[in-house]
Amino acid sequence: MLVDWQRLDEWLKRLYAPSQPPLMSKDTKVQLQLSQLYLLDRPAREAEKIVERVQNEATSEYVALASHTQAILQTAGIALGDLPATTAKAMADMSAIASDLGLSDMRIESFERAVAEATMAGFKRERQLEAIRTQAADISRQTRASQERQARLRQLLEERKAAAPIEEQKTREWLRNADIITQKSSEYKQRLAETEAETNKLQVSQRGLEYAQISQLNAAVGALRILVQEKQRMNDGYAALPPDISLAHLKLEEAKQALEQLRIECENAAAAAFSSGSGSGSGSGSGK
C-alpha cells in the first residue's frame, strides 16, 4: 500500500524534529519503502499514545488520592508522619476506598450509604445480566431452529433436483398422449361428420328406407355424437391431470381404454349405418 508523499513528508518532519529530514529522491521505490516504515511506525505511535494516556490517568488518580487523604487527615488534625505504620496503611486503604466510592469524607455513615448503593447497583446489574442471558438463550434457540429449517429446505431442494428429470419425462409423455387423444378425437369427429353427411344424402324415395330404419340410423348417429362429446370432455380434462405421477398414470390408462372403446363403437356404428343403407338401396333397386 502506497502512502501519499504529503503524509510521508509530515511523518518524516515529526520523526526528525527538531532537525530537518534528509533529502531523498521521490520515486516509486523510495515511496514504497517509506510507506512500509510509515505503516509499521503508526501502530507503535498509537500504542505509545495509549500508554502515555494511561500513565497520565494513573498519575492523576494517585495525586487526587494523596490530596484527598491529606485533606481528610488535615481535617482530623492528624499528620500522616506521626501515625504508626499500620495505622497509616489503614488510613491510606480507607482513603483509597473512599476515593473509589466517590466519598468526600470517611464517616461510617458515608461508607454504609455507599456500600448500600453499590449493593443495589450490583443487584440491578445482576438482573440485567440475567435478562441478557435469557435473550442470548432465546437467540441461540432461534438460530438452531433457523439452521434446522435451512437444512430441511436444502434437503427438499436436493430431492427436487434429483426428481426433476423423471417429472420432466412424465410431463413429456403426458403431452404426447394428449396429442394422440386430440388427434384420435379429431379423426372420430371427421368420421361422424362423414357418416352424418352420408346419411343426409340418402333419399328415402331412392333408397326405399322405411321410417323405422331412418329412426334407427338417426338414433345411432345421435349416440355417436354424445359419445364424442363425452370423450372430448375427457380430453379437455386431460390437461388437469393430478400432479401425483402414479395417479396420473392410472387416469391416463383409463383415458386410453375409453378412447379405444370409442373407436370400436364409432367403427361399428358406421359399418352398421352403411350396411343398412346399402341393403335398403339394393332392395329398392330390385323392386324397380
What's residue 242's pLDDT? 55
CA atoms within 13 A on the CB side of 58: 6
Q: Is the pLDDT assigned to residue 123 strictly greater than 60?
A: yes
Give residue 248's pLDDT band: very low, low, confident or very high (50, 70, 90). low
For 217-230, the pLDDT digits (tens) are 677 767 777 776 77
Once rounded to an integer, what is the mean pLDDT over residues 102-110? 72
Sketch the domain layout of the chain as residue ranges: 5-106, 168-287
What's residue 249's pLDDT? 62
Once rounded to an integer, what is the mean pLDDT over residues 91-102? 75
CA separation for the pair 210, 180 (Å, rounded): 40
Q: What's the whole-number average pLDDT of the chain?
A: 73
Give residue 142's pLDDT band: very low, low, confident or very high (50, 70, 90). confident
User: Distance between terminal CA atoms of the chain?
Assistant: 118
Report residue 84: phi and psi, to 5°.
-65, 160
What's residue 245's pLDDT? 58
Give residue 186's pLDDT band: very low, low, confident or very high (50, 70, 90). confident
CA separation for the pair 220, 215 (Å, rounded): 9
What's residue 180's pLDDT? 83
Once rounded to an integer, what is the mean pLDDT over residues 141-152? 84
Residue 22: DSSP 8-state: P
CA separation for the pair 280, 272 (Å, rounded): 12
Single-letter amino acid, residue 123: F
Give residue 69's pLDDT band: very low, low, confident or very high (50, 70, 90). low
Higher pLDDT, 20 or 287: 20
Residue 49 vs residues 16, 46, 53: alpha-carbon distances, Å: 18, 5, 6
For 33-45, the pLDDT digits (tens) are 888 888 887 777 7
Q: Ranked by mean pLDDT, which of 13-17, 204-208, 227-231, 247-251 comes out on top?
A: 13-17
Q: Is the pLDDT assigned to residue 109 strictly greater than 70?
A: yes
What's residue 285's pLDDT? 43
Once rounded to an integer, what is the mean pLDDT over residues 252-273? 72
For 188-198, the pLDDT digits (tens) are 778 777 777 77
Sequence-separated (6 or more) residues with CB below 8 Å from residue 277: 198, 199, 202, 207, 209, 217
Give residue 250's pLDDT band: very low, low, confident or very high (50, 70, 90). low
What's residue 157's pLDDT? 77
What's residue 204's pLDDT? 46
Higher pLDDT, 168 or 62: 168
| Rg, Å, the chain Cα set | 53
0.75 surpassed by pTM:
no
CA separation for the pair 265, 227 (Å, rounded): 9
Once rounded to an integer, what is the mean pLDDT over residues 93-122? 77
- Cell 348417429 belongs to residue: 221
Higher pLDDT, 184 or 206: 184
